Chains A and B, each alone.
Chain A
Amino acid sequence: MPASCERAITLTGDLHARPAGALSVTAAKFSSAVALTVGSSRADAKSVLGVMGLGATSGQRVTVTADGPDAEAAVAAIIAILAAATRVGA
């Protein structure tokens, strides 16, 4: 049965191009569907242009949602990237 998982993180830096790329490369390794939600905007985490198009900035709350057999691991991996990458504003 497909699992669903959701966690949120408050960004400590802006989500720039390089972390967006790392995020999408990582998301694509999971079979679950993974989405990012910021305010009223939602993007497929596997689409780097979609992730960049969110324009997520420091202080914003990002919700990571995954649906599928590896949903929990996918959300954990994406949260880790958001936590690490936006810390330095890379």
Chain B
Amino acid sequence: MSLHARVGIVLVSHSAALAEGAAELAGQISGGTVAIIPAGGTDDGHLGTSAAKVQQAVKLADSGAGVLILPDLGSAVLTVRALLTDTGDLPGPIEIADAPFVEGVVAATVAAASGGDITAVLAAAEEARHARKL
């Protein structure tokens, strides 16, 4: 891992707009130093998930420190898991976060911007389950 490599983030959503919006928000909050790649919608632009989009996003997000994938809903996990099982040429390490989508990507991206490794970034995302808004 190079000195400045940051963990990359991939947002897998059934909605392209949701993935892009969450990526924009997390990028603004974390200062724009982390690769946050949205992978939303199907290949033909409908609601759903696309293994090809996720695979491309993971490659774009990786800069040597690994990639954290955040799915929006449980069924997006199926797409991600199938991809990670079937494809051997993806860069590593890759982790899937069991976390709320918006809070998870914000916490993960801030952790990545701080130079956290894949373990720390995954932990930050999953701790977001316990964050209170009120």
Which residues does A use to contact B, with CB under 8 Å? 17-18, 20-22, 24-25, 28-29, 46-50, 53, 55
Contacts and interface: CB of A to CB of B under 8 A. Distances in A.
19 contacts: A17-B25, A17-B106, A18-B29, A21-B29, A21-B30, A25-B110, A25-B113, A25-B114, A28-B110, A28-B111, A29-B115, A46-B114, A47-B124, A49-B106, A49-B128, A49-B131, A50-B131, A53-B131, A55-B134
B4 interface: no
B116 interface: yes
Interface in B93-123: 103, 106-107, 110-111, 113-116
Given A24-B114, A28-B114, A53 B30 contact: no
Contacts of A17: 25, 28-29, 106
Interface residues of B, number: 21
A47 B124 CA distance: 8
Interface of B is mostly: helix
B114 A53 contact: no
A22 B25 CA distance: 13
Nearest to B25: A17
A77 to B, nearest CB: 13
Contacts of B111: 28
Q: Which of A20, A29, A48 has the most chain B CB atoms closer than 10 A to its own CB?
A: A48
Nearest to B103: A49
Contacts of B20: none
Given A20-B29, A21-B29, 15 more contacts: A17-B25, A17-B29, A17-B106, A18-B29, A21-B106, A21-B110, A22-B31, A24-B110, A28-B115, A47-B127, A47-B131, A50-B131, A53-B131, A53-B133, A55-B134
A55 B28 CA distance: 19
A18 B114 contact: no
